[in-house]
Amino acid sequence: MKADRRERGIRLILYLPTLIFLILMSIFPLIFSIYISFFNYTLGQHMDFIGFGNYGSVLTDSSFWSALRITLEIAVLAIPIEVFIGILIAFLFNTRGKGVEVCRMIILIPMMLPPLVIGFFWKYMFDATFGIINYFLGLLSGNPQIISWFTDVRLALIAIVLVDIWEWTPFVALLAMAGLQAIPPNVRETVRLEKASWWLRFRTLYLPYLRFPLLVAILIRSIDTLKIFDVVYILTGGGPGEETVTLTMFAYRVGFNYFYTGKAAALSWIIALISVGLITILIRVLSRKSTA
Amino acid sequence: MGKKWLSLLLIGVFVGASLVGYTAISSAKTIRILALAWPQAKVEQELADKYFTPKTGIKVIIEAQPYTYNEQKARQEVAAGSSYYDIYHYDSQWIGNYVVSGALERLDTKDYLLSPDSKINFDKDFFPELTYRSCKYPTIGPELDKGNFKAFKDTPIYGLPWSQNCEVLFYNKTLFKNAGLDPESPPETWEQFREYAIKLTNPPKHYGVGFSASPAADYISMDFFPIMWSWGGALWDPYTWTAEGYVNSPESIAALQFFSNLYLKDKVCPPDTPNWDMDPKLSALLTGLVAMAPEWVPLLGAIMDDPKSSQYVGQIGMALMPGKKDPATGKIRRFHMYGCQGTGINARSKHKKEAWEYLQWLLSYDTQKALTDNPAAAFVSGRRDLRYYAAGLNRWNKAFIDAIPTIRDFWNIPPYAELLFIQNREENLAFIGAKTPAEAMNYAAKLEQAIYDSSPYKPKR
Domain spans of chain B, in order of start: 30-158+340-408, 167-337+412-454
For B167-337+412-454, which CATH superfamily applies? Periplasmic binding protein-like II (3.40.190.10)
- What does DSSP assign to residue B202? B
Q: What is the pLDDT of residue B265?
A: 97
Which phi and psi angles does B34 have, rounded to 5°? Answer: -95, 110
Angle at B163 between CA B160 and CA B168, to 5 degrees: 130
Q: What is the pLDDT of residue A111?
A: 92
What residues of chain B lie within 8 A of the CB of A152, using their CB?
432
Q: What is the pLDDT of residue A96?
A: 77
The predicted-structure confidence for B214-227, as pLDDT tens digits, reads as follows 999 899 999 999 99
What residues of chain A lie within 8 A of the CB of B103, using their CB?
44
By a Cβ cutoff of 8 Å, what residues of chain B touch chain A? 72, 75-76, 78-79, 97, 100-101, 103, 203-204, 214-216, 270-275, 277, 289, 414-415, 417-418, 421, 425-426, 428-429, 432, 434
Which residues are B345's β-sheet partners?
Answer: B87
Mean pLDDT within B350-365: 98
Q: What is the pLDDT of residue B300?
A: 84
The reply to whether B167-337+412-454 shares the fold of B30-158+340-408 is yes
| Chain A residue with minimum CA distance to B433 | A152
Instruction: Return the percentage of chain A with pLDDT > 70, whole number.
Output: 97
Q: Give yes or no for residue A282 having a pLDDT over 60.
A: yes
Q: What is the pLDDT of residue B287?
A: 95
Q: What is the pLDDT of residue B22?
A: 55
Mean pLDDT within B13-25: 61
Number of C-beta neighbours around residue B153 at 10 A: 8
Q: What is the pLDDT of residue B2?
A: 64
Mean pLDDT within A212-224: 93
Q: What is the pLDDT of residue B21?
A: 56
**Core vs surface per residue B381-413: b (16+ CB within 10 A) or e:** bbbbebbebbbeebebbbbbbbbbebbbbbbbb
More confident: B447 or A129 = B447
With cut-offs at 50, 70 and 90, classify the pLDDT of residue A201.
confident
Quote the mean pLDDT of chain B: 93
- Cβ-based neighbours of B375, under 8 Å, separated by 6 or more: B302, B394
Instruction: Using DSSP, state whether B402 is helix, strand or coil.
Output: helix
B418 contacts A43? CB cut-off 8 A: no
Which option is the CATH number for A55-291: 1.10.3720.10, 1.10.150.120, 1.10.10.10, 3.40.50.2300? Answer: 1.10.3720.10
Mean pLDDT within A163-178: 96
Measure Cα distances from A193 to A115, A189, B84, B160, B179 in Å: 46, 6, 75, 85, 75
CATH number of the domain located at residue range(s) B30-158+340-408 in this protein: 3.40.190.10
Mean pLDDT within A146-172: 94
Which phi and psi angles does B248 have, rounded to 5°? Answer: -110, 25
Q: What is the pLDDT of residue B299?
A: 83
B434 contacts A240? CB cut-off 8 A: yes
Q: What is the pLDDT of residue B20?
A: 59
The predicted-structure confidence for A230-281, as pLDDT tens digits, reads as follows 999 999 999 899 999 999 999 999 999 999 999 999 999 999 999 999 889 8
With cut-offs at 50, 70 and 90, classify the pLDDT of residue B380.
very high
Q: Give yes or no for residue B10 having a pLDDT over 80.
A: no
Look at A96-100, B72-76, B182-186, B214-218 and tell me which has the smallest mean pLDDT. Answer: A96-100
Look at A54-58, B77-81, B122-126, B135-139 and tell me which has the smallest mean pLDDT. Answer: B77-81
Angle at A49 between CA A46 and CA A51, to 5 degrees: 150
A44 contacts B78? CB cut-off 8 A: yes
A43 contacts B79? CB cut-off 8 A: yes
* Whole-model pTM over 0.95: no
What is the complex's ipTM, to 2 decimals? 0.85
Q: What is the pLDDT of residue B437?
A: 98
- Which member of A45, A146, A257 has the closest CB to residue B100? A45
| Chain B residue with minimum CA distance to A236 | B275
A128 contacts B434? CB cut-off 8 A: no
Question: Given phi > 0 = left and psi -120 to 50 = alpha, else beta, which region is B32?
Answer: beta
More confident: B105 or B9 = B105
Quote the mean pLDDT of chain A: 91
Helix, strand and coil in chain B, % to nearest 5 = 50, 15, 35
Query: Could you state, in order of their start, the residue ranges of all structural domains in chain A?
Result: 55-291
- Cβ-based neighbours of B425, under 8 Å, separated by 6 or more: A241, A242, B215
- Which member of A44, A153, A243 has the closest CB to residue B101? A44
Mean pLDDT within B199-222: 95
CA distance B129 to B158: 16
Query: Measuring CA to CA, which residue among B206, B210, B178 is closest to residue B193?
Result: B210
CA distance B66 to B71: 9
Identity of the highest mean pLDDT range in A41-50, A202-211, B142-151, B249-258: B249-258
Length of chain B: 461
Q: For strands B167-172 and B290-296, give the pairing.
A: antiparallel
B101 contacts A257? CB cut-off 8 A: no
Q: Give yes or no for residue B395 having a pLDDT over 70.
A: yes
Based on the number of CB atoms within 10 Å of its own CB, is B371 exposed (0-12), middle (13-18) or buried (19 or more)? buried
CA distance B210 to B171: 10
Q: What is the pLDDT of residue B95?
A: 96
Q: Give yes or no for residue A290 having a pLDDT over 60.
A: no
Look at A268-282, B46-60, B340-354 and tell me which has the smallest mean pLDDT. Answer: A268-282
Q: Give yes or no for residue B202 having a pLDDT over 60.
A: yes
**C-alpha B54, offset from chain centre:** 31
The number of C-beta contacts closer than 8 angstroms across A and B is 87
CA B236, B338, B387, B297 torsion-angle sign: negative
CA distance A197 to B91: 69
Q: What is the pLDDT of residue A129?
A: 83
- Which member of B97, B214, B270 has the closest CB to residue A239? B214
Q: Give yes or no for residue A147 having a pLDDT over 80.
A: yes
CA distance A266 to A274: 12
Instruction: Using DSSP, state whether B39 is helix, strand or coil.
Output: helix
